[in-house]
Amino acid sequence: MSLPAAALDRTALVTGASSGIGAEIARELARRGHGVTLVARSAAKLQTLAAELRDTGVRAEVIACDLTDRPSRAGLLGAVEGRGLVVDILVNNAGLSTLGPVAASDPEAEMKMIELDVVAVADLCSRFLPGMVQRRRGAVLNVASTAAFQPLPGQAGYGAGKSFVLSYTQSLSGELKGTGVTATTLCPGPVATGFGEAAGFSKQDAEDALPPVMWVSAPDVARAAVDGLDKGRLVVIPGKANRVAAALSQVTPRTLLLPVLTKNHPGLR
């Protein structure tokens, strides 16, 4: 199974494309000749990236959208179709995390996180997959995390949300068999993108909690993601150390794993 062929009236919609993994996935898709539709809240950052990608010869569109806002999110399909484009590749990358124990959490922040990390993924898949299946071509990449394979005290909602994304996308893959459409989950480990700082802990805290061997650069994550998407892989975990850690976390008894995870998480110190 390979990615749908690039064409002038086809696009890859990438959410959370203003920085980090999303921006690098957009660059990687553009390098392979795919036009891209960049979606995030920051129009200025998207326009800068779009100009860079247009210089490589591909079509790059910008749609500023707050994906936590349901009416705005619901308008994405029409906004793309209004430009004469069909989405053959959907990358649900946008996400955020809160930090700290649930007992000390801000309910509004928790719900905003779940809206973006969980509800938006299901919403956009529900809106864009029917057209892909009808055309009998397409690929979906939903970005989870190695946190999907284990509990995550200190980021309980984030870890649970990524577990949802992993299970949901695997189920999609089963449903889509024989349709010409594939579904892949990307599960990166630690990546230096500013994501952690936005959640509330410093890069130093993250580096202290996670050994250097587990860190993978955003461009390398994007390359592994698009390679996996092109091959129709079910799950992509960039970095050998992260693949080993994900496997071990699934078989380690929770009574042994939870104390270690709780002790080492920066959000619980």
Residue 5 falls within a domain, yes or no? Answer: no
Residue 241 falls within a domain, yes or no? Answer: yes
Instruction: Give the CA distances from residue 193 to residues 17, 22, 118, 174, 221, in Å, rounded to whole numbers and listed in that order.
Output: 12, 10, 21, 32, 11
Which string of DSSP letters, residue by residue, matches 141-162? Answer: EEE--GGGGS--TTSHHHHHHH
Active site residues: 158
Residue 228 falls within a domain, yes or no? Answer: yes
Residue 4 falls within a domain, yes or no? Answer: no
Instruction: Give the CA distances from residue 199 to residues 77, 86, 155, 235, in Å, rounded to whole numbers and listed in that order.
Output: 29, 34, 9, 25
Spatial contact of 55 and 32, defined as CB atoms under 8 Å apart:
no
Task: Tell me which residue range forms the domain holding 233.
Answer: 10-268
Residue 1 falls within a domain, yes or no? Answer: no
In angstroms, the CA 162 to CA 144 distance is 5
Residue 3 falls within a domain, yes or no? Answer: no
Instruction: State the virtual CA torsion across 234, 232, 27, 116 in degrees, nearest 10.
Output: -40
pLDDT of res. 266: 85
Kindly report, residue by residue over 185-237, the tens digit of the pLDDT.
Answer: 999 998 977 655 554 555 666 666 677 888 899 999 999 999 999 999 999 99
The total of structural domains in the chain comes to 1
The predicted model scores a pTM of 0.93
Q: Smallest Cα–Cα separation from 127: which of 84, 90, 82, 173?
A: 90
pLDDT of res. 264: 84
Crossing angle, helix 43-54 and helix 20-31, to 10 degrees?
20
Query: Residue 141 is part of a domain; what is its CATH number?
Result: 3.40.50.720
pLDDT of res. 206: 61
Residue 181 falls within a domain, yes or no? Answer: yes
